[in-house]
Amino acid sequence: MVVHPATQDIGFAVRRRVAGFLSTLRHSGFHVGLAESCDALAILANANIARPSAAKPALKALLCGCRSDWDRFDDLFDAFWFGRGVKSRVQTTPSRGPVQPSAFKGPHGRNDGAQTNLASDVERRVDEREFEATPDGRREGASRSESLGDVDFRKIADPDAMAEAHALAEQLARTMRTRLTRRDRLAARGRRIDLRRTIRASLPTGGTPIHVVHKRRRFKPLRLVVLLDASGSMNLYTAVFVRFVHGILDHFLEADAFLFHTSLVHVSDALREKDAGKALDRLSLMAKGVGGGTRIGDSLASFNRWHAVRVIHSRTCVMILSDGYDTGAPDVLGAEMAALRRRCKRIVWLNPLIGWDGYEPSARGMAAALPYVDLFAPAHSLDSLAAIEPYLAQL
């Protein structure tokens, strides 16, 4: 994090803690950047701040850009700074001892008792989290989600780890959905005030909001249509992908999902079930033939004939999750891909095999489809799924 001259004396521990908190907000869908980081440090450098809770109202006003951010901020703040709602872990490494009073100085270079309390509290929590370990003595500096991020789904053998990967995939999809469905954009005029940007713009004028920033609704938000391959060759990935798609459709009104193998099934209603277990039960009843062969061309033909007019408009991105192995004729797949490309804005093909060493799209079906694909990307891990969000955000 870049250190602003006005906050150089705040202490490294506090700056690192604030950086971790802002990173947590970004992963939860908040739009927080460098400017917000500097402003947050300036708030904590205030001589009247004794505890993180004292800075909470100011940080909330600064970092919340919409109503959903405002509603979730308290829970995220309490979980990060105070550990509320977070399971405790076993600490096997002793802390470094008490922080000396000189560890934190006020903005004018003097020691301040109230700020020393804040620094001591932050330093202690940083030490505890940095040296957390599992009961068997292994250091767990990174979270479990980070350790699972780059692991190929087919290499996860532990049932608990796979269940956690399912949950993380769903959480990832929800975060992506939050970012892609933001409908507000800056405007010169309007009835709605962008509170966060207005406060930031008022800092050079001593907090007086001379320049008021407005926002208005965007038009035509991005629509996602997901086509998920549930054939036998995709067995190792289908379960995670289903949870990923369930996360997208949970509250994402501008989305539809289809499952295909030898035929095509519309599964949006089933996957919009709030309870993931019930959604999977309904899906298993609807998708007969899962785990069998694959006829991608015929499935796309059904989609183009019976569903495309209803679910596709000019800002639709069609996302295909498949390894590209097709038992049908390649020319049929190519023709249907061409027809689909004429209808939608973008086609994204996520292939888990791209993450395998030495993979090349040499299968006849995949080779026939590639000329009509705008983004051909891997989907073998959580990190690869997360990497597509910046591309979608530009559409």
Q: Tell me, yes or no, whether 176 lies in a domain.
A: no
Mean pLDDT calculated for residue range 365-383: 93
User: In this predicted structure, what is the pLDDT of residue 89?
Assistant: 35
Among 35-39, 52-56, 215-219, 370-374, the least confident range? 215-219
- CA 259, chain centre distance (Å): 23
Domain stops at, among 169, 196, 217: 217
**pLDDT-based confidence at residue 311 (cuts at 50, 70, 90):** very high
Helix axes 235-249, 276-286, angle to 10 degrees: 120
Band (344; pLDDT cuts 50, 70, 90): very high
Q: Looking at mean pLDDT, say which of 149-163, 294-308, 352-366, 374-388 comes out highest.
A: 294-308
Q: What value does the mean pLDDT take over residues 230-242?
A: 90
Q: Is residue 160 part of a domain?
A: no
Residues 134 and 23 in one domain: yes
Same-domain status, 110 and 12: yes
Residue 168 falls inside a structural domain: no
State whether 212 and 302 are in the same domain.
no
Q: Do 60 and 34 have their domain in common? A: yes
- Percent above pLDDT 90 for the chain: 23
Judgement on whether residues 85 and 195 belong to the same structural domain of the protein: no
Mean predicted confidence (pLDDT) in 362-384 = 92
352 within some domain:
yes
* Inside any domain, residue 328: yes
Residues 243 and 389 in one domain: yes
Q: What is the CATH number of the domain that holds 250?
A: 3.40.50.410
Within a domain: 155: no
Higher pLDDT, 388 or 287: 388
Q: How confident is the model at residue 257 (pLDDT cuts 50, 70, 90)?
A: very high
What was the pLDDT predicted at 220? 60
Examine the fold and report which residue of 163, 198, 217 is the final residue of a domain before the chain moves on: 217
Question: What is the structure's pLDDT at 373?
Answer: 95
Same domain membership, residue 196 and residue 229: no
Last residue of a domain, which of 82, 111, 139? Answer: 139
In tens, the pLDDT along 172-223 reads 887 776 666 555 555 556 667 888 788 888 887 877 887 788 776 655 667 8
**pLDDT for position 187:** 55
Same structural domain, 322 and 268: yes
Please indicate, yes or no, whether residues 242 and 195 belong to a single structural domain of this protein: no
- Please state whether beta strands 223-229 and 316-321 pair in parallel, antiparallel, or not at all (unpaired): parallel
pLDDT at residue 343 is higher than 60: yes
Kindly report the pTM of this predicted structure.
0.58
Domain carrying residue 204: 184-217
Same domain for 385 and 280, yes or no, is: yes
Structural domain count, the chain: 3
| CB within 8 Å of 139: residues ≥ 6 apart | 131, 132, 133
Relative orientation angle of helices 67-82 and 12-27, to the nearest 10 degrees? 140
Shared domain check, 47 and 121: yes
Asked whether residue 104 carries a pLDDT value surpassing 60, the answer given is no
Task: Calculate the dihedral angle through the C-alpha atoms of 104, 109, 115, 116, rounding to the nearest 10 degrees.
Answer: 40
Please write the tens of the pLDDT for every residue from 313-327.
888 999 999 999 999
Q: Which of 220, 227, 222, 287 has the alpha carbon at shortest distance from 256?
A: 227
| Whether residue 349 sits in one domain with residue 209 | no
Phi–psi pair at 294, nearest 5 degrees: -135, 130
Residue at 298 is within a domain: yes
Q: Would you say 198 and 209 are in contact if contact means Cβ atoms under 8 Å apart?
A: yes
d(CA 237, CA 245): 12
pLDDT at 144 over 80: no
